[in-house]
């Protein structure tokens, strides 16, 4: 016995299949292009304020050598607002944040104004020094061999930023890249809080 399977639609169906395949491929291409466009043009990630146990507590002491070889003591800045920024040259959000920090440091360069201090997070001193130089950063950056300063501040990964009041209290903690505008906003808000 012979069984014959006949394509009921014949060449016309084949043509229809090809048309459908073209439409599906075209739609996939459009969706893919739209996805790429959205991802490429969306605003970069920004910092979020995080509630950590350190907020409201005395800022852990920071004492160490800067990338320039000087000795740094956080306690020496008592009486001024201090922005403590943990960073690394290998971290893309830190690279994104760096020009904003440069602008902030420049805007607050007058004596007695808010001070900015960087803490090198899991990075070699030479690479971090090159990173600071290449971006025109002039604020002190303290090396943290062994990551003990990062541990004292409960840092999970850079960039993380802490606001320390003139009395030496941690008043805010941010995770992610800050902008010059957000630094100014939060500084003004912290100063208004009278911490």
Partner 1 sequence: MSDATRRRLRRLAPWVALGIVVGVALGIGASPGGPPLTVAQRVNGIDTLVRCPSCDGISVADSSASTAVAIRQAVTARVRAGQTDSQIDAFLVSRYGPSILLRPPVRGGTAWVWVLPPVALALAVTSLGTVLWRRRQGVAVTVSTDDRALVQQALARRGAPGGRATEVVRAP
49 lines the binding site for partner 1 (CB under 8 A): no
174 lines the binding site for partner 1 (CB under 8 A): no
86 lines the binding site for partner 1 (CB under 8 A): no
- Residue 109: left (phi > 0), alpha (psi -120 to 50), or beta? alpha
**Dist. CA 179–CA 186, nearest whole Å:** 11
By DSSP bridging, strand 63-65 and strand 48-49 are: unpaired
Q: Is the dihedral of CA 158, 118, 110, 95 positive or negative?
A: negative
Please state the closest distance from residue 75 (CB atom) to partner 1, in A: 19
Residue 99's CB is within 10 A of a number of other CB atoms, namely 14
Q: Residue 85 in contact with residue 187, Cβ under 8 Å?
A: no
Q: Between 60 and 140, whose beta carbon lies closer to partner 1? A: 60
Please state the closest distance from residue 91 (CB atom) to partner 1, in A: 11
Please state the closest distance from residue 174 (CB atom) to partner 1, in A: 16
Please state the closest distance from residue 59 (CB atom) to partner 1, in A: 12
The correct pick among 151, 167, 185, 193 for binding partner 1 (CB under 8 A) is 151
Q: Which stretch binds partner 1 (CB under 8 A): 14-22, 31-39, 106-114, 148-156?
A: 148-156
Q: Of 136, 151, 135, nearest to 86 (Cα)?
A: 151
SS3 164: strand
H or E element at residue 55: none
Task: Tell me which residues in 106-135 interact with partner 1 (CB under 8 A).
Answer: 121-122
156 lines the binding site for partner 1 (CB under 8 A): yes
168 lines the binding site for partner 1 (CB under 8 A): no
**Dist. CA 133–CA 119, nearest whole Å:** 15
Q: Which stretch binds partner 1 (CB under 8 A): 18-26, 74-82, 93-101, 154-162?
A: 154-162
154 lines the binding site for partner 1 (CB under 8 A): yes
Tell me the two tokens of residue 178.
């800050």
Contacts with partner 1, residue ranges (CB under 8 A): 52-54, 57, 121-122, 146-148, 150-157
């Amino acid at each position: 016995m012979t069984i014959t399977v006949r394509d009921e639609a014949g060449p016309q169906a084949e043509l229809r299949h090809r048309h459908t395949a073209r439409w599906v491929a075209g739609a996939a291409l459009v969706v893919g292009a739209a996805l790429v466009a959205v991802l490429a043009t969306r605003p970069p990630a920004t910092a979020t304020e995080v509630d950590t146990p350190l907020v409201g507590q005395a800022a852990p002491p920071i004492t160490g050598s800067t990338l320039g070889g000087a000795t740094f003591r956080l306690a020496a800045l008592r009486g001024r607002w201090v922005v403590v920024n943990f960073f690394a040259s290998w971290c893309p959000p830190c690279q994104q944040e760096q020009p904003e920090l440069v602008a902030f440091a420049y805007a607050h360069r007058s004596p007695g104004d808010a001070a900015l201090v960087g803490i090198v997070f899991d990075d070699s001193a030479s690479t971090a020094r090159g990173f600071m130089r290449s971006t025109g950063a002039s604020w002190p950056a303290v090396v943290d061999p062994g990551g003990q300063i990062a541990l004292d501040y409960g840092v999970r990964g850079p960039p993380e930023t802490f606001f320390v009041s003139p009395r030496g209290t941690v008043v805010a903690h941010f995770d992610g890249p800050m902008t010059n505008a957000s630094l100014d906003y939060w500084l003004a808000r912290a100063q208004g809080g009278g911490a």
